[in-house]
């Protein structure tokens, strides 16, 4: 269903991406932003699932500036390696690369963005700073609380796990108090990464509910 392609950011940097298109004309487009594990099997599967729902979905490889085509699994050893990419994240560069993905699919129609973990934070930042978006969704973005003074320019939805040891509920409440304009859901008992069916922290009930809410949100806002 999908294909690998190359995007060019505003500074001329070329990065990889994975794009999946539906069998018929897409009703809108969705940019999918990776976790720290790269545009791996899971992120490609997310794109494929959105394509199956009628959206053109594209996932830019936002780690290509550090290591091209980095993809990782979820063992403790692999997690330790993946963490090196966020020791000193270059947010402006990741946003330039995200903008390149938005620009690549904007001809389809309205563009939404969804991100997971690191990508959840990127998706929120994109909603506040980038152009060409119509809606944004972030899953368990760890630094969204730091960005919460920035107002999204588009309707935004956030998902968090109640038992996420890396994102305290006090952070979620900070976001909620600063951003009453954002829809925020907390999933009881869910851990970090609860929406990834390839991780030990996968919580099917929470993932399914968050997925249903996300699809309804995009269906509502991504109308041509």
- Among 42, 47, 103, 117, the one annotated catalytic: 117
Read off the pLDDT band of 1 (50, 70, 90).
low
**CA–CA separation, 100 and 6 (whole Å):** 10
Q: Concatenated DSSP letters for 7-51?
A: EE-TTS-EEEEEEE--SS--SEEEEEE--TTBS-HHHHHHHHHHH
What's the burial of 222, exposed, middle or buried (CB within 10 Å: 0-12/13-18/19+)? buried
Q: What is the predicted pLDDT for the residue at 223?
A: 85
Q: 70-110: per-residue pLDDT in tens?
A: 999 999 999 999 998 888 899 999 999 999 999 999 999 99
Buried b (16+ CB within 10 A) or exposed e, 17-54: bbbbbbeeebbbbbbbbbbbbbbbebbbebbebbbeee
- Which domain covers residue 154, as residue numbers? 2-221
How high is the pLDDT of residue 224?
A: 61
Q: Once rounded to an integer, what is the mean pLDDT over residues 174-190?
A: 98
Q: Report, in angstroms and rounded to the nearest whole number, the Rg of the chain calculated over CA atoms.
A: 16
* φ/ψ of residue 106, rounded to 5: -65, -20
Look at residue 24 in the predicted model and tell me its pLDDT: 95
Structurally, the chain folds into a number of domains equal to 1
Residue 164: active-site member: yes
The residue length of the chain stands at 224
3-state DSSP: the chain helix, strand, coil percent, rounded to 5?
40, 20, 40
Bridge partners of 156, per DSSP, are 136
d(CA 37, CA 116): 10
CATH number of the domain at 17, please.
3.40.50.1820
The pLDDT assigned to 76 comes to 92
Is the confidence at residue 173, as pLDDT, over 70? yes
* 150 is an active site residue: no
Residue 165: strand, helix, or coil: coil
- Average pLDDT score over residue span 25-53: 97
With a cut of 80, say whether residue 157 has pLDDT above it: yes
Residue of 42, 159, 192, 221 marked active site: 192
Predicted local confidence at residue 86, as pLDDT = 87
Other CB atoms within a 10 A radius of the CB of residue 108 amount to 19
In the annotation, is 192 catalytic?
A: yes
Which residue among 21, 164, 171, 203 is the active-site one? 164
CA distance 120 to 125: 9
Q: Residue 85: its pLDDT value, please?
A: 86
């Amino acid at each position: 269903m999908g294909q690998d392609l190359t995007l060019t950011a505003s500074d001329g940097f070329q990065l990889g991406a994975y794009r999946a298109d539906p069998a018929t004309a897409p009703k809108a487009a969705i940019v999918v932003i990776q976790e720290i594990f790269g545009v791996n099997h899971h992120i490609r599967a997310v794109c494929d699932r959105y394509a199956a729902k009628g959206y053109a979905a594209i996932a830019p490889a936002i780690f290509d500036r550090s290591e091209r085509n980095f993809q990782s699994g979820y063992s403790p050893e692999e997690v330790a390696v993946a963490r090196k990419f966020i020791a000193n994240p270059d947010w402006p560069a990741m946003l330039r690369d995200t903008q390149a993905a938005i620009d690549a699919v904007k001809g389809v129609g309205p563009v939404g963005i969804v991100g997971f973990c690191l990508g959840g934070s990127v998706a929120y930042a994109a909603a506040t700073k980038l152009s060409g978006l119509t809606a944004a969704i972030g899953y368990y973005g760890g630094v969204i609380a730091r960005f919460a003074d920035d107002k999204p320019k588009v309707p935004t939805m956030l998902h968090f796990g109640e038992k996420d040891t890396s994102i305290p509920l006090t952070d979620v409440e900070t976001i909620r108090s600063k951003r009453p304009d954002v829809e925020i859901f907390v999933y009881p008992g869910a851990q970090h990464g609860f929406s990834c069916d390839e991780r030990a922290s996968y919580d099917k009930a929470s993932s399914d509910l968050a997925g249903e809410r996300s699809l309804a949100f995009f269906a509502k806002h991504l109308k041509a």
